Chains A and B, each alone.
Chain A
Amino acid sequence: MTVRWTELIIFTALFVLVTVLGFYAARWKGGGSLDHLDEWGLGGRKFGSWVTWFLIGGDLYTAYTFVAVPALMFGAGAMGFFALPYTVLVYPLVFLPLLRLWSVSRVHGYVTPADFVLGRYGSATLALLVAVTGIVATMPYIALQLAGLEAVLRTMGLNGAGLAGHAPLFVAFVILAVYTYQSGLRAPALIAFVKDALIYLVIIAAVIILPAKLGGWGSIFDAADAKFTATKTPSDGIVLGGNNQLQYLTLALGSALALFLYPHALTGALASRSRNVIKRNMVALPAYSFVLGLIALLGYAAIAAGTKPIVNAATGRPDSNTVVPMLFEGQFSSWFAGIAFAAIGIGALVPAAIMSIAAANLWTRNIYKAYLRRDATAEQETQQAKIASLVVKFGAVALIVLIDPQYSIDLQLIGGVIILQTLPIVAVALYTRWFHVWGLIAGWVVGMGWGLTLLYGIPNPASGKQHFGGSALALDKLSLLGWQPFAGSQVQIYVGFVALVANLLAAALVTIVLRQMRVFNGTDETQPDDYYEDEGSSRLRPVAGMLS
């Protein structure tokens, strides 16, 4: 293997810069003691519009955007573009629920979605389900970030075989783990500025220079069209076919509904100072969507440029994640490619940090404090969260070895199947307590059980593995205890959507029965007015870290 030294040196220099920033961040905008979860886990709950924009943007636009989506476009065509309608839909859909969640969380001091569920239903079981689901769903999403980071490292020549081949990834990840441990949410918030500056620089250069070099967007699309026409697979192409339109729209809708159920996306929203900060961000965040759409199209630019993905020495197969890095390598000078690699690498680290912090908050608040040690002090809580953030990261490393889907994007989509099962418990509960506690639990069991069963049965044609190969299900394979309602149909659908529908149906059925029987439905500690309180209201719970 040949190491690309110029790229590696620039990448390392920028990586060292953000590491220094990460440690310095502990003191940035310091309020009270970092020994309190409001400080370590939510940055003091006082981020304004700009910081929130960078922070949520850093959450949402990740290795998913820069590596996984273009890889899917490169391999499967128009299907991969579902990421654009997904980010179009997400803000209008979550605008009002997110405001309600922010207010009720500030009135009652909630840090996690599971805290809210506990307050709303008074059921520790339900809160535990939400916490466990959040932690588990976050791990494959972090694993996707790792896949992105590793793609860049392998492109730079650090493409070793076996376990030793993963060594550079481990080093980068341990450094990330240590400064997250030290600085909490402030580290990714501060680094997000560097990340976005780098990414905008790289992308603006790429979308101007690449089409000029490759004969304009028209010929880029023509080259992609020619490639997909030549393949035998009927489902690829630069427009959708008959069998994947349902999948396209269920993926877009399912992803949009899932996004703000992820604990890390909520962390970004709850760390903001006021309702207005969230409102402004729901209007301003789609600026990222343009960038996302253009980056997705880099997958086609790679086709037009004749880019070949690197053969991953660990798996022995071409690694489609390396398509965008190899495109930069082939079309730009070494030093600019180095900056682009750093942008992608740091773009994977920021969300990985935020995700692990959010999962750690869940562990500490809703499992450790609720079950293991009820009288934990604020210091002990924060200590637990710090350790949990390490455990979650290493769980993600393990997943990358265990689950090997055809496209890395399926790591995120599998996470989506899991997190979507909390939609009735968290999002619906923001509006109504119609669903019964036990109905919600039954729905969760049905949705999760069926969703995971369906995922287990999806093979990966590229690696020949039989399980967890993707997230698209042919309706033909949709079986309910042996009954196949759509036998013979090759139309595909997103598993998460199927599982969510089953979840809602089961929850509604059980609710109707239990309501007839007048079974006790838990106590609600929230008042209708709690969902509208804003900054400055005397009913908001003071931020604990600021008192010490």
Chain B
Amino acid sequence: MSRWNLLLLVPLVVLVTPLYNSDEPRLFGFPFFYWLQFLFIPVGVLCVAVVYWKAGDRR
């Protein structure tokens, strides 16, 4: 088990709804609730990608 694998837990932050459950501030017309969750997509990709490069196959 590589420590890099712990990065896979980072996206779980998206479950903490009080973090982003508001209309303001808006971005390009999108309420905070929506654009912040969209932002979590690249965060998730980044975490998986780093684990892929750094650790994926180590036993």
Which chain A residue lies CB-closest to B58? A532
- The A-B contact count (CB < 8 A) is 105
B residues in contact with A275, CB < 8 Å:
56-57
In the complex, identify which listed stretch (A90-98, A176-184, A482-490) lies at the interface while the others stay far away.
A90-98
Instruction: Contact check, A532 vs B57: say whether CB atoms are below 8 A apart.
Output: yes
Instruction: Contact check, A245 vs B17: say whether CB atoms are below 8 A apart.
Output: yes
Instruction: Contact check, B48 vs A282: say whether CB atoms are below 8 A apart.
Output: yes
Given that A88-B11, A221-B29, A221-B30 are contacting pairs, would A95 and B51 also be in contact in the complex, using a CB cutoff of 8 Å? yes
Which chain B residue lies CB-closest to A253? B15
Instruction: Contact check, A85 vs B15: say whether CB atoms are below 8 A apart.
Output: yes
B25 part of interface (Cβ distance < 8 Å): no
Instruction: Contact check, A95 vs B48: say whether CB atoms are below 8 A apart.
Output: yes
A286 part of interface (Cβ distance < 8 Å): yes
Instruction: Contact check, B8 vs A81: say whether CB atoms are below 8 A apart.
Output: no
Give chain A interface residues in 408-453, CB to chain B under 8 Å: none
A residues in contact with B41, CB < 8 Å:
84, 87-88, 286, 289-290, 293
A residues in contact with B12, CB < 8 Å:
89
Min CB distance A301 to B, Å, is 12
Query: Interface residue count for A (Cβ, 8 Å)?
Result: 41
A residues in contact with B29, CB < 8 Å:
211, 216-221
Give chain B interface residues in 2-59, CB to chain A under 8 Å: 5, 8-12, 14-18, 21-23, 26, 28-31, 33-34, 37-38, 40-41, 43-45, 47-49, 51-52, 56-57, 59
Identify A217's interface contact among B28, B33, B52, CB under 8 A.
B28
Min CB distance B57 to A, Å, is 7
Min CB distance B55 to A, Å, is 9
Instruction: Contact check, A93 vs B26: say whether CB atoms are below 8 A apart.
Output: no
CA–CA, A81 to B34, complex, Å? Answer: 8
Give chain A interface residues in 214-244, CB to chain B under 8 Å: 216-221, 225, 238-240
Min CB distance A242 to B, Å, is 10
Given that A89-B11, A279-B52 are contacting pairs, would A286 and B45 also be in contact in the complex, using a CB cutoff of 8 Å? yes
Which chain B residue lies CB-closest to A296? B34
Which chain B residue lies CB-closest to A528? B59
Given that A78-B33, A279-B52, A290-B41 are contacting pairs, would A92 and B11 also be in contact in the complex, using a CB cutoff of 8 Å? yes
CA–CA, A252 to B51, complex, Å? Answer: 23
Instruction: Contact check, A88 vs B44: say whether CB atoms are below 8 A apart.
Output: yes
Min CB distance B15 to A, Å, is 4
Given that A239-B33, A293-B38, A532-B59 are contacting pairs, would A96 and B23 also be in contact in the complex, using a CB cutoff of 8 Å? no
A129 part of interface (Cβ distance < 8 Å): no
Which chain B residue lies CB-closest to A292? B41
Min CB distance A349 to B, Å, is 27
Min CB distance A97 to B, Å, is 11
Given that A88-B44, A286-B41 are contacting pairs, would A218 and B33 also be in contact in the complex, using a CB cutoff of 8 Å? no
B residues in contact with A249, CB < 8 Å:
15-17
Instruction: Contact check, B14 vs A89: say whether CB atoms are below 8 A apart.
Output: yes
Given that A78-B33, A238-B31 are contacting pairs, would A92 and B26 also be in contact in the complex, using a CB cutoff of 8 Å? no
Given that A219-B29, A283-B49, A532-B57 are contacting pairs, would A245 and B18 also be in contact in the complex, using a CB cutoff of 8 Å? yes
Instruction: Contact check, B48 vs A91: say whether CB atoms are below 8 A apart.
Output: yes
Identify B44's interface contact among A81, A91, A240, A245, CB under 8 A.
A91
Min CB distance B30 to A, Å, is 6
A248 part of interface (Cβ distance < 8 Å): yes
Given that A81-B34, A219-B29 are contacting pairs, would A282 and B21 also be in contact in the complex, using a CB cutoff of 8 Å? no
A residues in contact with B47, CB < 8 Å:
92
Instruction: Contact check, B21 vs A240: say whether CB atoms are below 8 A apart.
Output: yes
Instruction: Contact check, B57 vs A297: say whether CB atoms are below 8 A apart.
Output: no
Known: A96-B8, A240-B33. 14 other contacts (CB 8 A): A84-B40, A85-B15, A88-B40, A89-B14, A91-B44, A216-B29, A245-B17, A249-B16, A249-B17, A252-B15, A280-B52, A293-B38, A532-B57, A534-B57
